[in-house]
């Protein structure tokens, strides 16, 4: 029997990324409050929020300073926009601060309300830029299988996940996908990470040459793949990829929506993995998810092209009502102040060895084929046969069952395609809470193994 709140939810709310048929039967987990790394449901049960919400609540829940920053700004100037040359103090200060933090040369900051909007903007800016330069055929965008870049029409076209394309009439023409940088699944037997990276770079070059270098405009990649499985690229990957991009004048866009603001123990994931993008998309932890805010870094050559086009056309015809919302900007400024003052990012780097050690230890579990990550993010893959890497039939939903068992143990983690389970806790997580997280995840894996045996599930053939 569903509770009153659950019944009301089922009858009124359309949930993103949810099996809508199953949801009608089991209903939602209704959360009521949060504190630190814990959230509490309407029955008062606590859960370690092992996914930082959706990879985003880096400073945890109920941070009084962030709440006060929002309240103070709402009392002072709850809204104005950036259209037609208007501006406001928090937006100006935040743009200045972000320019200082960016690991790549940055001329301006363009604000959005989400990571999807940021990546959609990247596509439009790329097309606009090449039109300004008279390169009207140089428009194709290359992304990667398993990459996740959002759900707008353009950003979902870059996303490399089947569920984001099936029956959505996506991807649009001009959006291409090369192999995911996943050594565990993609490497040949005995192939080193460096050799695998070289092969992926060769594949990228072959794709550019096949399409025609004068038609390929940009390549987009997450430093660590998030929704595709919390996958860390193999050694040497970005240096090999960037050599190809430079050779054919293809812009490199880093999607830092998940990795930005400390997740890998650096301000941006590109710094941790040796990536040198032309532009960066960011969102999520910028405000610790307390307010919707994202954006794009604009390099000087791009900005000069935008100015020229604005002079020719009469305006820069792009932007949304809530771009650079003053309350969101005020919260972001306070979040960055806290990151700096409390050494949150340095703390994440210091806690990463413990986190990764506990995660890697799960590779010894009967069900786990791969377990690994970097910083305070990681993923594991459930397999039926560790030697052959064979998986269970996707219809059995083994990873989803593991996540449900984790919830029963008081832990929220996320099931992803390919029977992968992701872990991405708030950066403020304490060492004893890291241990509690992995203790609970280990028990969830044990319960999943027992359920598989009881159900008699077998590996897929092949």
Specify the CATH number for the domain of residue 35.
Answer: 3.90.1150.10
Same domain, 213 and 333: yes
pLDDT of residue 364: 97
User: pLDDT exceeding 70 applies to what percent of the chain?
Assistant: 99
Same domain, 191 and 295: yes
Answer yes or no: is 460 within a domain: no
- As a whole number of angstroms, the distance between CA 352 and CA 348 comes to 6
pLDDT of residue 462: 67
Determine contact, residues 9/27, Cβ cutoff 8 Å: yes
pLDDT of residue 3: 72
76-125 residue pLDDT tens: 999 999 999 999 999 999 999 999 999 999 999 999 999 999 999 999 99
278-331 residue pLDDT tens: 999 999 999 999 999 999 999 999 999 999 999 999 999 999 999 999 999 999
pLDDT of residue 381: 98
pLDDT band at 237 (very low <50, low <70, confident <90, very high): very high
- Per-residue pLDDT, averaged over 443-458, amounts to 95
Last residue of a domain, one of 274, 306, 341: 341
Answer yes or no: is 309 within a domain: yes
Using the predicted structure, report yes or no on whether residue 2 has a pLDDT greater than 80: no
Same domain, 166 and 24: no
Answer yes or no: is 45 within a domain: yes
CATH number at residue 311: 3.40.640.10
Q: What is the mean pLDDT of the chain?
A: 97
pLDDT of residue 461: 79
Same domain, 177 and 249: yes
pTM score over 0.85: yes
Q: Give Cα separations from 356 to 16, 216, 379 (angstroms).
A: 30, 38, 10
Same domain, 330 and 348: no
Answer yes or no: is 462 within a domain: no
- As a whole number of angstroms, the distance between CA 159 and CA 177 comes to 9
> What tokens appear for 44 in the block?
């008062």
Same domain, 261 and 122: yes
Same domain, 305 and 367: no
Same domain, 359 and 321: no
Last residue of a domain, one of 293, 313, 341: 341
Secondary structure E strands in 277-429: 279-282, 294-298, 368-374, 377-382, 411-412, 414-416, 420-423
Using the predicted structure, report yes or no on whether residue 1 has a pLDDT greater than 60: no
335-379 residue pLDDT tens: 999 999 999 999 999 999 999 999 999 999 999 999 999 999 999
The 10 Å Cβ neighbour count of residue 23 is: 16
pLDDT of residue 460: 80
Last residue of a domain, one of 286, 315, 341: 341
Same domain, 26 and 140: no
Same domain, 291 and 415: no
Determine contact, residues 326/91, Cβ cutoff 8 Å: yes
Same domain, 317 and 351: no
255: containing domain: 66-341
Answer yes or no: is 397 within a domain: yes
Domain count, the chain: 2
């Amino acid at each position: 029997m569903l509770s009153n709140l659950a019944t009301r939810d089922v009858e009124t709310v359309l949930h993103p990324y949810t099996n809508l048929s199953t949801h009608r039967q089991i209903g939602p987990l209704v959360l009521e409050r949060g504190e630190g790394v814990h959230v509490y449901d309407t029955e008062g049960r606590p859960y370690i929020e092992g996914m930082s919400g959706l990879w985003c609540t880096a400073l945890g829940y109920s941070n009084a300073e962030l709440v006060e920053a929002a309240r103070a700004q709402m009392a002072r100037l709850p809204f104005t926009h950036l259209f037609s040359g208007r501006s406001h103090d928090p937006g100006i200060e935040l743009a200045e601060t972000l320019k200082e933090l960016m690991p790549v040369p940055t001329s301006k900051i363009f604000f959005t309300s989400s990571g999807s909007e940021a990546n959609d903007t990247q596509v439009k800016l790329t097309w606009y830029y090449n039109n300004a330069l008279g390169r009207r055929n140089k428009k194709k965008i290359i992304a990667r299988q398993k990459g996740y870049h959002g759900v707008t029409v353009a950003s979902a076209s870059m996303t490399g996940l089947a569920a984001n394309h099936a029956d959505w009439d996506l991807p649009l023409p001009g959006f291409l996908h090369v192999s995911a940088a996943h050594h565990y699944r993609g490497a040949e037997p005995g192939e080193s990470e460096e050799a695998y990276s070289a092969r992926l770079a060769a594949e990228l070059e072959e794709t550019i040459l096949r399409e025609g270098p004068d038609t390929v405009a940009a390549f987009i990649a997450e430093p660590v793949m998030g929704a595709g499985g919390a996958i860390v690229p193999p050694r040497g990957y970005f240096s090999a990829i960037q050599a190809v991009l430079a050779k054919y004048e293809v812009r490199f866009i880093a999607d830092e929506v998940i990795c930005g603001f400390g997740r890998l123990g650096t301000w941006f994931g590109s710094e941790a993995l040796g990536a040198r993008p032309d532009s960066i998309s960011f969102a999520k932890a910028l405000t610790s998810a307390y307010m919707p805010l994202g954006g794009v870094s604009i390099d000087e050559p791009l900005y000069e092209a935008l100015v020229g086009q604005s002079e020719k056309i009469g305006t820069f015809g792009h932007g949304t009502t809530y771009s650079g919302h003053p309350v969101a900007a005020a919260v972001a400024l306070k979040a960055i102040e806290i990151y700096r003052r409390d050494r949150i990012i340095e703390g994440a780097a210091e806690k990463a060895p413990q986190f990764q050690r506990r995660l890697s230890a799960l590779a010894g579990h009967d069900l786990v084929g791969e377990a690994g990550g970097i910083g305070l993010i990681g993923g594991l893959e459930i397999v039926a046969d560790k030697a052959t890497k064979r998986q269970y039939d996707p219809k059995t939903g083994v990873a989803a069952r593991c996540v449900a068992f984790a919830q029963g143990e008081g832990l929220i983690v996320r099931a992803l395609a390919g029977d992968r389970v992701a872990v991405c806790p708030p950066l403020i997580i304490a060492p004893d809470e890291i241990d509690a997280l992995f203790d609970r995840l280990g028990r969830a894996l044990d319960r999943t193994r027992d359920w598989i045996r009881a159900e008699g599930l077998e590996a897929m053939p092949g």
